[in-house]
Chains A and B, each alone.
Chain A
Amino acid sequence: MIKLFERQTRIAMSRVKKKKSPFMYKSYSKKPKHKWIKKRKAAEKRFKCAGFIAILISSLFLASLIWNIFSSGRSAFTEAQIRLPVTFESELVEQGAYRKIVQNSILKLFPYVEDRKEKRDLFGLVSRNAPHMLKEFVTQDPTLIGTRREVWIPASSTISIFYKQRLLEQSKRGGKVTASHASWVTELAKSERMRLKFNTAFFKNGDSREAEQAGVLVSTIGSFMTILICIAMAFPLGVATAIYLEEFAPKKWFTDFIEININNLAAVPSIIFGLLGLSIYLNLFGVPRSSSLVGGMVLALLILPVIVIATRNALQAVPPSIRYAAAALGATPTQVVFHHTLIYALPGIMTGVILSIARAFGETAPLLMIGMVAFVADIPKTLTDPATTLPVQVYLWASNPELGFVEKTAAAIMVLLTFMILINLLAIYIRRRFEIKW
């Protein structure tokens, strides 16, 4: 009877132990634990913790990466503008001395500045592109000549950043915000001559020497043109290769060789494809340097093995019964493949292709080799025009020491990551919606 009671209490206590903290166990347990069991349990815990920490470190890294890019790139989507009282004097307009017009209007705001060096600093308040903007205003509306208008002009990138972040000290990467700059900006802000506007230039322009005028439109278009060429070349070739290897090729040493070959090609460093493009496409075939054509051709080689492998996997996933049934009903071998197997494999193929496109979209190294690092300010009109891609633009801006380009780089990365996420979402959608589980 007592034994039974003891047993029941132990069961009850073990239940309590499961619910409550280990202190209960320690204080009520009569049984001393063996040292080596404790050791083993501790080792088990340590091991499990190590695994958890490994994943935690990776996630923390990703979080800090995204946080970093977001926090430094966010400000690039706004720009500071200065309201200038511009007088379009007809003499100066005829001479085309728009720079002088800008300088006059700035001096009107700060009449007390007389020192030459101070004046130069003062003119650095507005974007170096301001004269061009005024010129455009005049060509659009010639009635402006001889009148006095209040015009919003973008501030220069350092002033813009200063206004946005209110940095008072000189920044690390070559910003030139002096004490007088700071006082002028405060003065302008007090007289409501400064405002923050959504930075449309960032989405309308190409690369520029001035950070406040640099944008991502040209590189985005370049990216899309390159990807288009890449798909047009790699998709038919890759799918055809996979179909042949999977459905038609006789199992011989030759097919084994091709298989090993393609698997190895998938692991070749991407920069080697750039070398190939440089020596074969550019020097042998004479494809125009730094065009989106040659970029697409190089990226096509890069993703070809990936597409082949993905397509083969998708074809392998289609059960043989489909093939047998079609053949039994009198379909020829090509009809079996094109009317049945390929149709069922299509969602899988598409997922693989889209993921490989995402890879090509983010690729930089081979494009450096074929001269796509060029300074491209105009939208490429044909496939042979000089073009650049989004990741290359990121690389170019990242290597620019000017402070204004740091936030532009982060913002361009945000645009790049947005495209990557969209591409991946499309792949996930296709996989979820269309993939057939056998």
Chain B
Amino acid sequence: MGFLEGLLAGPKLFILQWKWPLYFDRLFLITVKTKRNNERTMAKFEELIKAGLLACTMLSVLVTALIVLSVFSETFRFFSHVPLTDFFFGTEWSPQTAIRADQAGSSGTFGAVPVFLGTFLVTLIAMAVAAPLGLYAAIYLSVYAGATFRAWAKPVLEILAGVPSVVYGYFAVITLAPILRAGGEMIGLSIASESALTAGTVMGIMITPYVMSLSEDVISAVPKSLSFGSLAMGATQSETIKKVVLPAALPGIVSALLLGISRGVGETMVVVMAAGLAANLTLNPLESVTTATVQIVTLLVGDHEFDSDKTLAAFALGFSLFFMTLLLNIIALVIVKRYRERYD
């Protein structure tokens, strides 16, 4: 412990003991070289600080504007080349041919339905794993678990949430895919090595702690008096949860699940490593599918001519992704706001 203390003495001193915000105004007063008690200087300083903070805030907001602007303008350019209906209703996705404009067979086909379907399938599998695991874990931790059990179960789930997604991708490729394939062969199923099942399962495990912590917050926000009332009437703990707590927490849980879905839709590394590249129009989880994020990565990684249809298609996919997650987040927000029961 002594070693650790010594190691942390530096950051401790500089970040926490040296109270840097104290010197903000003094620094200013030194630079303008006036006395501290000059009221007009102080007023000027106040205004300056406020203006600076406002500027920072505007800069932060600008980020959203930049995203919308950059992604939207490229998407707009893409749709001036490729009709909107082709993109959203076409069922064939093969952008790889359109590398240069003067190349033979340069017009790739950009029907994004298989890509979106793949995204949907992988996310569905992920939620099929994450929703029950996350919900049951949240219920167990908030209702049944004792203090000691919580004390080690919580950190485990926090570690699970903190592991970088590239590690999950590696695990999916190296460990889970061979296991699933061998298991499938044993019962006579042929599972592709880049199956949606592998990517979805690992992604589901990855989303589980997220869903769990969100729904645990919601469950513990339900007033205790409700469940006490139910228990006093002779209901068992599980009946109380199923018939009293969960209905009361339903909007929050639905929004937690929606946020989980939006997380899964936008997740990149697991699917880039574990899902396939070919856009198959299928709902079979044992086959290889591709997702929007995989396509964005494969279209944009490497040196390409920036203005080709191929790179612009990635921006169109990115825009749809952005729009989708935004929509899911807003729906989650609205559900919580509109349907939340107020008990105080």
- Residues of chain A touching chain B, judged by Cβ–Cβ distance below 8 Å, are 40-41, 43-44, 46-48, 50-55, 57-59, 61-62, 64-65, 68-69, 72, 236-238, 240-241, 243-245, 248-249, 258, 260-265, 267-276, 278-280, 283-284, 301, 304-305, 308, 332-335, 337-339, 342-343, 346-347, 350, 358, 361-365, 368-369, 371, 373, 391-392, 394-395, 398-399, 406, 409-410, 413, 416-417, 420, 424, 426, 429-430, 433-434
The answer to whether B325 touches A268, judged by C-beta atoms less than 8 angstroms apart, is yes
27 A–B contacts, CB within 8 A, in A order: A40-B236, A44-B237, A51-B139, A52-B140, A55-B140, A55-B153, A58-B157, A59-B156, A68-B171, A240-B57, A264-B326, A267-B325, A268-B266, A269-B321, A274-B300, A275-B67, A275-B70, A332-B42, A364-B164, A364-B268, A368-B272, A368-B301, A369-B300, A394-B167, A394-B170, A395-B273, A398-B173
Q: With A264-B329, A275-B314, A308-B60 as given contacts, are A269 and B174 in contact (CB-CB < 8 Å)?
A: no
The answer to whether B160 touches A244, judged by C-beta atoms less than 8 angstroms apart, is no
Question: In the complex, what residues of B have CB within 8 A of residue A268's CB?
Answer: 67, 266, 322, 325-326
Question: In the complex, what residues of A have CB within 8 A of residue B333's CB?
Answer: 260, 263
The answer to whether A398 touches B22, judged by C-beta atoms less than 8 angstroms apart, is no
Please give the number of chain B residues whose Cβ is less than 8 angstroms from any Cβ of chain A in the complex: 97
| Distance between Cα atoms of A41 and B239 in the complex (Å) | 10
Q: Given A269, A301, A430, which contacts B16 in the complex, CB threshold below 8 Å? A: A430
The answer to whether A54 touches B136, judged by C-beta atoms less than 8 angstroms apart, is yes
The answer to whether A339 touches B22, judged by C-beta atoms less than 8 angstroms apart, is yes
Describe A's contact surface by its main secondary structure. helix
| Distance between Cα atoms of A413 and B263 in the complex (Å) | 23
| 8 more CB-based (< 8 A) A-B contacts, given A57-B133, A362-B167, A363-B164 | A72-B174, A241-B59, A269-B266, A275-B70, A275-B314, A284-B70, A364-B269, A429-B4
Q: With A269-B322, A279-B74, A430-B16 as given contacts, are A338 and B164 in contact (CB-CB < 8 Å)?
A: no
Question: In the complex, what residues of A have CB within 8 A of residue B318's CB?
Answer: 271-272, 275
The answer to whether B56 touches A241, judged by C-beta atoms less than 8 angstroms apart, is yes
Question: In the complex, what residues of B have CB within 8 A of residue A57's CB?
Answer: 133
Question: In the complex, what residues of B have CB within 8 A of residue A333's CB?
Answer: 46
Is B21 in the interface zone, CB < 8 Å from A?
A: yes
The answer to whether B19 touches A43, judged by C-beta atoms less than 8 angstroms apart, is no
Q: With A244-B54, A265-B64 as given contacts, are A350 and B136 in contact (CB-CB < 8 Å)?
A: no
Closest to B298 in A: A368
Q: Given A40, A48, A424, which contacts B239 in the complex, CB threshold below 8 Å? A: A40
The answer to whether A271 touches B54, judged by C-beta atoms less than 8 angstroms apart, is no
Q: With A58-B209, A248-B53, A338-B22 as given contacts, are A65 and B167 in contact (CB-CB < 8 Å)?
A: yes
Give the shortest distance, in Å, between A389 (CB) and chain B (any CB). Answer: 10
The answer to whether A346 touches B16, judged by C-beta atoms less than 8 angstroms apart, is yes
The answer to whether B140 touches A245, judged by C-beta atoms less than 8 angstroms apart, is no
Question: In the complex, what residues of B have CB within 8 A of residue A68's CB?
Answer: 171, 174-175
Question: In the complex, what residues of B have CB within 8 A of residue A301's CB?
Answer: 63
Give the shortest distance, in Å, between B313 (CB) and chain A (any CB). Answer: 12
Give the shortest distance, in Å, between B295 (CB) and chain A (any CB). Answer: 11
Q: Given B73, B159, B169, B263, which contacts A398 in the complex, CB threshold below 8 Å? A: B169
The answer to whether B21 touches A62, judged by C-beta atoms less than 8 angstroms apart, is no
Question: In the complex, what residues of B have CB within 8 A of residue A41's CB?
Answer: 236
Give the shortest distance, in Å, between B197 (CB) and chain A (any CB). Answer: 15
The answer to whether B21 touches A420, judged by C-beta atoms less than 8 angstroms apart, is no
